[in-house]
């Protein structure tokens, strides 16, 4: 990697990391204040609404985010205005349809009345989030992550601060969700303003004729996104079904903090992805891809030690600072420690997944994710009814191990072994 490329990747990684850390810290702060104000059960209901929204958003995005990022990153791709317009129009159509279907059919069938109300509010964020991620793909493809990161942080900050104001005034999870939706809308305005300054006008005409082609080409990414969201959120849904909002609140308090610990590798790999795409698409670049992978693996292993060790030791203090002395905080602390044991697998499977995406092997990622997710849901269905959140946490640990084994072996067989010096033919 040239010095110029290294600096660009480092700058983008720092921008993404700072944005994601800031947003998740804001989210954790908001979660803590909301839990103190309304209790663990209503916090669990809030997390359930976000979980349903997140799974629905993965369907709405239809794999277009990563697909568009890859296409924008290719320097030979010329008609970016048409691609951007088609992506945004298609995502808007899917988002509006999902809002109607979720609130008119799915929520009434599977959730109680109090849960339906918060799910309905959360679903209003589907449209602005879908549009934002579509425009963000252009920013990432152009390696302007510092701008997209700034927009995401400021819009999230606006939503969190407004939510905290409502909490102080006696508001509840519904007000917090509404403020979040408003924050997403402000982000949409900001993205559009930057595109206007760049003199980039999305070309909408004919988007419906390109929609089928886009969906077909993005299908492997879509499958992976949906499966990944189910992989991360199925346990909360099953906990809600069998043990109610309190169990979801306790487990979610630990799980959200554990997710924060995965920010650093995810941010670095997202920043590196456009460069991986460029290397994987040229003979010269592929010669050095395996060396970059080896160094990345060593760096991520070092991060596990630097992040995982202190986090395991300081888990009680972190949980108390965030959630206070609410009922279940000690249990949530022990759940967090169990989840931290999965960090080495989490960090390394992210690396292998990005390598496969860059090399055009996204269907392999989908197959691996689908296999592990099916196992995850099956084991959760066996363990959660009897062992509640302990069953969910144990399943999460086993699933991370399985996913690393599958993606790691696939990356070696399909990409790395075939490179010069890799032992392939």
| Residue-level pLDDT at 3 | 47
**66 part of a folded domain:** yes
Domain limits for position 376: 3-417
Token reading at 231: 């992989």
Local confidence band at 425 (pLDDT 50, 70, 90 cut-offs):
very low
Please count the other Cβ atoms lying within 10 Å of the Cβ belonging to residue 1: 16
> CB of 415 within 8 A of CB of 359?
yes
Residue 348 in domain: yes
How much is the average pLDDT of 51-57? Answer: 94
**Spacing of C-alpha 227 from chain mean position:** 12
Tens digit of each residue's pLDDT (9 = 90 or more) over 141-172 = 887 877 888 898 889 889 999 999 999 999 99
Instruction: Kindly state the tokens that stand for 10.
Output: 């480092």
Across residues 71-77, what is the average pLDDT? 66
Mean pLDDT of 262-284: 70
Question: In the 3-class helix/strand/coil scheme, how is 153-203 assigned residue by residue?
Answer: HHHHHHHHHHHHHHHHCCCCHHHHHHHHHHHHHHHHHHHHHHHHHCCCCCC
Whether 422 is covered by a domain: the verdict is no
pLDDT in tens, 83-95: 899 999 999 999 9
Q: Is residue 221 a part of any domain in this protein? A: yes
Percentage with pLDDT > 90 across the chain:
45
- Domain assignment present for 405: yes
Provide the domain count of the chain: 1
Angle value at C-alpha 83, between 67 and 221, nearest 5 degrees:
15
Residue 62 domain-assigned? yes
pLDDT at 174: 95
Angle of the 207-260 helix axis to the 362-414 helix axis, nearest 10: 60
Q: Quick one: pLDDT band at residue 282, thresholds 50, 70, 90?
A: low
Give dist(CA 325, CA 305) in Å, integer: 29
Whether 423 maps to a domain, the answer reads no
Whether 362 maps to a domain, the answer reads: yes
């Amino acid at each position: 990697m040239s010095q110029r490329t290294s600096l660009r990747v480092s700058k983008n990684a720092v921008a993404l990391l700072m944005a994601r850390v800031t947003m998740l810290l804001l989210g954790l702060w908001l979660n803590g204040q909301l839990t103190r104000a309304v209790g663990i059960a209503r916090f669990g209901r809030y997390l359930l609404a976000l979980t349903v929204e997140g799974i629905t958003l993965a369907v709405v995005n239809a794999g277009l985010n990563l697909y568009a990022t890859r296409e924008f990153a290719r320097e030979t791709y010329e008609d970016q205005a048409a691609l951007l317009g088609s992506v945004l129009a298609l995502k808007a159509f899917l988002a509006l349809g999902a809002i109607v279907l979720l609130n008119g059919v799915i929520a009434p069938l599977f959730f109680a009345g109090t849960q339906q109300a918060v799910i309905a509010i959360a679903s209003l964020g589907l449209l602005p989030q879908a549009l934002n991620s579509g425009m963000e793909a252009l920013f990432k493809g152009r390696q302007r992550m510092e701008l997209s990161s700034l927009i995401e942080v400021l819009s999230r900050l606006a939503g969190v601060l407004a939510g905290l104001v409502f909490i102080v005034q006696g508001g509840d999870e519904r007000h917090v969700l509404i403020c979040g939706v408003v924050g997403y809308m402000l982000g949409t305005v900001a993205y559009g303003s930057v595109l206007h300054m760049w003199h980039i006008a999305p070309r909408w005409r004919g988007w419906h004729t390109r929609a089928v082609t886009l969906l077909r080409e993005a299908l492997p990414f879509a499958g992976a996104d949906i499966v990944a969201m189910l992989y991360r959120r199925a346990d909360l849904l099953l906990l809600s079904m069998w043990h109610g909002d309190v169990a979801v609140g306790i487990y979610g308090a630990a799980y959200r903090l554990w997710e924060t610990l995965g920010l650093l590798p995810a941010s670095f790999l997202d920043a590196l992805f456009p460069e991986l795409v460029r290397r994987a698409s040229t003979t010269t670049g592929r010669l050095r891809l395996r060396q970059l992978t080896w160094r990345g693996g060593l760096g991520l292993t070092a991060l596990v030690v630097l992040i995982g060790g202190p986090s395991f030791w300081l888990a009680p203090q972190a949980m108390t600072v965030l959630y206070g002395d609410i009922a279940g905080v000690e249990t949530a602390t022990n759940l967090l420690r169990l989840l931290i044991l999965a960090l080495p697998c989490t960090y390394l499977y992210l690396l292998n997944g990005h390598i496969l995406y860059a090399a055009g092997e996204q269907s392999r990622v989908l197959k691996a994710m689908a296999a592990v997710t099916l196992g995850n849901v099956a084991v959760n269905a066996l363990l959660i009814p009897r062992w509640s959140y302990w069953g969910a946490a144990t399943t999460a640990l086993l699933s991370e191990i399985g996913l690393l084994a599958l993606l790691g072996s696939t990356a070696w067989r399909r990409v790395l072994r075939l490179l010069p010096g890799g032992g392939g033919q």
